[in-house]
Amino acid sequence: MIKNVTFEKTTYAEAPAKFEAGTPNIADAVGLRAALEYVQRIGLSNIAAHEHALTENATQQLSTIPGLRIIGTAKEKVSVISFVLDGHSTEEIGKALDQAGIAVRSGHHCAQPSLRRFGVETTVRPSFSLYNTHEEVDRMVDVVRRMARGIRI
């Protein structure tokens, strides 16, 4: 980013080089390698199977809650479920889940045209990954089930 430095004057390089930091991002390269090795040790197929099992478990349990509607039910989909619950805003559900230690997204997810196709403006959207557990799915479902029954969280 610097062409020349003296005690009297600094001359900057031409753009875009003058906006680059002087030290390469070594830490992120080392971290990326460690992450890739970790994923390789576990195996992509094992990760996919775990995420699929969590999604199936959550879908099955959520499907039993009266007033809950799952949005998007493709058989082969990523480990994400979108839903709405009669009588509750998606923000209210998201806040209750957050207070129970379950992180979800609630809102329009920058997907208004798709959501409107299903007749909704917002959804609650949990997503599942390698680090999630079936116990967390159970805790999420328990909170939503209590909300559906009108139990104050």
Summarised one tens digit per residue, pLDDT across range 79-128 is 999 999 999 999 999 999 999 999 999 999 999 999 999 999 999 999 99
7, two tokens: 């005690």
Confidence at residue 64, expressed as pLDDT on a 0 to 100 scale: 98
Say if residues 1 and 20 touch (Cβ distance below 8 Å).
yes
The residue ranking higher by pLDDT, 35 or 23, is 35
How confident is the model over 49-76, as pLDDT tens digits? 999 999 999 999 999 999 999 999 888 8
Query: If we measure between CA atoms, which residue out of 86, 85, 105, 83 comes closest to residue 94?
Result: 105
Q: Catalytic pick from 110, 119, 131, 135?
A: 110
The contacts of residue 146 (CB under 8 Å, 6+ apart) are 153
CA distance 93 to 121: 15
CA distance 108 to 116: 10
Known catalytic membership, residue 119: no
